[in-house]
Structure 1
């Protein structure tokens, strides 16, 4: 079976909040993407590269991969460092 990666996606540049970021994603890795000579787009004969499965927890994604005998790699999300700021600090200098 193909190799997959399990990760929690980052927010896009168009998102200001952290909503809808609680899903874990299982994606298959593409071995050899090729460039389409006519349009210049990246393409592949591998249909697994188009498959993207979403799970509510990391454990569900791992159990699915083990049940289907999929070799996987887990990419843990980085912790956000939150710095508390006060509007009043702009005027205290």
Structure 2
């Protein structure tokens, strides 16, 4: 794992890969609730190697997209409202 995110690499142990995936999902699940602006920065980053001011890259986007789908199922929550206010839907539409 580099910079707190999972990057596929040759020679990585299968269990280590799974553990890192679980860690990344948990980290982004928390960040969706606590730092929606950071989520938007990842969605607006360009290129796989470009880092945000937080050290995140496009490698983090799949975790975010999956968690945004879950969050959208409960649009009345503060988490979802904060994500919308931070611009996540506008920038998510640009990703697609």
The structure with more helix, counted as a fraction of residues: 2
TM-score, reference length from structure 2: 0.25
Higher relative contact order (CA 8 A, sep 6+): 1
The structure with more strand, counted as a fraction of residues: 1
TM-score, reference length from structure 1: 0.26
